[in-house]
């Protein structure tokens, strides 16, 4: 029943249900089968086959329209997200703290362990928000880091 409701509920991104995008007509809910409905009462099998073939021919247009709606939805979400993001510009040579990730956390310290690792210097800027780091002794840290996981270090 859960799968049925998922497949027959219109998505906000496309405006269509997955069932509609597959078969080009709306599914009847199980209640309509037992109780009856206008759709069921006016059903003519011969006409239904012809209409289904016609709708299947037009299905590509419906899918294309839903793709355009999905692209517009993704652009709206990206615009909303980008409004909320605050850029933290770092320059080469700035000192930053690196966030301790769960896989690098020392388990013996427990919940009272450090959340940020010792200061690092920014060695190079790959692109906006991505940096190569080096420790204070000049040893280069192997992977690039995202600005999301860095915090400016004030002496």
- Residue-by-residue DSSP string for 17-55: -HHHHHHSSPPPPHHHHHH--HHHHT--HHHHHHHHHHH
Contacts of 137 (CB under 8 A, 6+ apart): none
Q: How confident is the model at residue 33 (pLDDT cuts 50, 70, 90)?
A: low
Answer with the residue of higher pLDDT: 58 or 77: 77
The class that CATH gives domain 95-152 is mainly beta
Say if residue 37's pLDDT is above 90. Answer: no
Query: How confident is the model over 100-150, as pLDDT tens digits?
Result: 887 777 777 777 888 898 899 999 999 888 999 999 999 998 899 888 889
| Domain positions in the chain | 2-84, 95-152
What global pTM score does this model have? 0.45
């Amino acid at each position: 029943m859960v799968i049925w409701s998922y497949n027959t509920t219109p998505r906000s991104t496309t405006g269509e249900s997955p069932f509609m995008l597959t078969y080009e007509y709306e599914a009847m809910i199980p209640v309509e089968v037992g109780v009856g409905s206008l759709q069921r009462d006016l059903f003519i099998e011969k006409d239904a086959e012809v209409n289904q073939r016609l709708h299947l021919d037009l299905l590509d247009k419906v899918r294309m329209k839903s793709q355009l709606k999905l692209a517009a939805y993704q652009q709206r979400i990206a615009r909303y997200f980008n409004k909320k993001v605050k850029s933290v510009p770092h320059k080469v040579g700035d000192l930053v703290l690196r966030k301790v990730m769960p896989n690098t956390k020392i388990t013996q310290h427990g919940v009272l362990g450090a959340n940020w690792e010792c200061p690092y210097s920014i060695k190079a800027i790959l692109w906006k928000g991505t940096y190569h780091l080096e420790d204070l002794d000049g040893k280069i840290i192997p992977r690039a880091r995202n600005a999301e996981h860095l915090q400016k270090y004030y002496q």
